[in-house]
Structure 1
Amino acid sequence: MQLIQLRAMDDIGEEGLSMVQNEGSNACLPDPKELGLHDVSLVSQENTDVDDEGLIKHSTSLTNRQRGNELTFLPATLDCLSIHQLAAQGDVCQVAVHLNKDCSLLNKQDDRGFTPLMWAAAFGEKAVVDYLLAEGADPKTVAWERESALTLASMGGFVDIVKSLLALGVDINTYDWNGGTPILYAVRGNHIQCVQELLDRGADLTIESDSGYSPTALAVALGHKKIQKVLEEHVLQLYSPDDEMKERFLSLARRKDLCE
Structure 2
Amino acid sequence: MGNDALFIASTTLTNKHRGNEVTVLPASLDTLSIHQLAAQGEVSQVAAHINKDFSLLCKQDERGFTPLMWAVAFGEKAMVDFLLEKGADPKTIARERESALTLASSGGYADIVECLLKHGVDINTYDWNGGTPLLYAVRGNHVKCVEALLAKGADMTVESESGYTPMALAIALGHKRIQKVLEDHILKLYKSKT
TM-score (norm 1): 0.64
1:15-34 aligned at under 5 Å gives the runs: 21-23=22-24
Counterpart Cα distance in 1 of 2:157 and 2:62: 33
Structure 2 residue aligned with 1:236: 187
Structure 2 residue aligned with 1:167: 118
- The residue identity in structure 2 corresponding to 1:149 is A
Report how far residue 22 of structure 1 moved.
3.4
Structure 1 residue aligned with 2:51: 100
Where does structure 2 lack aligned partners over 5 or more consecutive residues?
Answer: 1-20
SS of 2:49's partner is: helix
Structure 1 residue aligned with 2:29: 78
Counterpart Cα distance in 1 of 2:97 and 2:27: 33
Report how far residue 241 of structure 1 moved.
11
Where does structure 1 lack aligned partners over 5 or more consecutive residues?
Answer: 1-19, 25-74, 244-260
Report how far residue 97 of structure 1 moved.
1.0
1:1-260 aligned at under 5 Å gives the runs: 21-23=22-24, 76-240=27-191
Q: Aligned in 2, Cα 1:242/1:97: closer, same or farther, shift over 3 Å?
A: closer
SS of 1:194's partner is: helix
- The residue identity in structure 2 corresponding to 1:95 is V
Deviation track 1:176-210 (CA, whole Å, cap 9, x = no partner) reads 00100000000000000000000000000000001
Counterpart Cα distance in 2 of 1:84 and 1:21: 25
Q: Identity, % of aligned pairs? A: 72
TM-score (norm 2): 0.86
Structure 2 residue aligned with 1:30: none
SS of 1:141's partner is: coil
Q: Aligned in 2, Cα 1:23/1:203: closer, same or farther, shift over 3 Å?
A: closer
SS of 1:235's partner is: helix
- The residue identity in structure 2 corresponding to 1:198 is L
Q: Aligned in 2, Cα 1:242/1:163: closer, same or farther, shift over 3 Å?
A: closer
SS of 1:78's partner is: coil
Q: Aligned in 2, Cα 1:242/1:82: closer, same or farther, shift over 3 Å?
A: closer
Report how far residue 101 of structure 1 moved.
1.2
- Structure 1 runs (4+) deviating above 2 angstroms are 20-24, 240-243
